[in-house]
Amino acid sequence: MPTPDSKSAARLEGRTAIISGGGSGIGRAIAVLFARHGARVAILDLAGDDTAREIVAAGGSGVALTCDVTNQSEVAQAFARVAEEYGPLDVLVNSAGVAAVGTVETTTEDDLDRVYAVNVKGVYNCLRSGVAAMKGRGGAIVNIASVASSVGIPDRFAYSMSKGAVLTMTYSVAADYVGAGVRCNAVSPARVHTPFVDGYLASHYPGREAEMFEKLSRTQPIGRMGEPWEVAELALFLCSDAAAFITGSNFAVDGGFVSLKV
């Protein structure tokens, strides 16, 4: 049996990749890294142009498609356009997501509907089109879940609900399509320093941003938040031939948050 060359095993040369939520944060880091490793990257987001420009400026192949992932018709049309322009789909990363703060009592119906629409229905819509494009010819899917998929996080009722669904959708797709050559895995970050974190702190703790940033950083046993590129590196591995024997798994990128009780 051939063994992947160590220098090329984690590369995506000539492959077509769709990244939902690639306009910012973790999704942007994944899109840029995948393009750097040779993928033709399509970003599905409401605002992904800056990421596409960054990719092209660096000599990569990237395009941004304005797409509301909660709308199944828009998603299907975007996937069809990618196939026309870039060729058959090889890689899908579901990174689009929103957050909400609150317990079951303080979470409003509108909050729940918004989080469900993006984090659950949006992933379902992309999985539906992605699996249809990949089955029979093979492909790799990574869903961005969360530590909230596995453990209780205070004041994150709706978000935890949605990320639990992302994890179980991962297992379901992996089981249903392993025979069709489709691999599906999840990556579960703890707190990662993204623009969302900065916006959250500015909105909820004006004047105390640095203090609260340090407090949130210390909730990870490793003593800091993750960086988007650290999640991107794991996604790259899971979508490459180096991970050809891995499917139906969930990988924590959490600085020890789930397993280290210190």
Give, rounded to a whole angstrom, the gap between the first and last alpha carbons of the chain: 43
DSSP 40-97: EEEEEESS-HHHHHHHHHTT-EEEEEE--TT-HHHHHHHHHHHHHHH-S--EEEE---
Strand order in the sheet with 61-66: 61-66, 40-45, 16-20, 91-94, 139-144, 182-189, 250-253
Q: Which of 116, 159, 171, 200 is catalytic?
A: 159
Return d(Cα 224, Cα 230) in angstroms, integer. 13
Q: Among this protein's residues, is 124 annotated catalytic? A: no
| C-beta separation of 88 from 137 below 8 A | yes
- 134: Cβ contacts below 8 Å, ≥ 6 apart: 89, 90, 92, 141, 177, 180, 181, 182
Residue 217: phi and psi, rounded to 5, are: -60, -35
The burial class, CB within 10 Å (0-12 / 13-18 / 19+), for 109 is: exposed
List helix spans (H) across the chain.
25-36, 49-57, 72-86, 109-115, 122-134, 157-177, 195-204, 209-217, 228-239
Please report where in the chains the tokens 């049996």 appear, as a residue: 1
CA-based nearest residue to 169, from 180, 161, 157: 161
The catalytic residues are 159
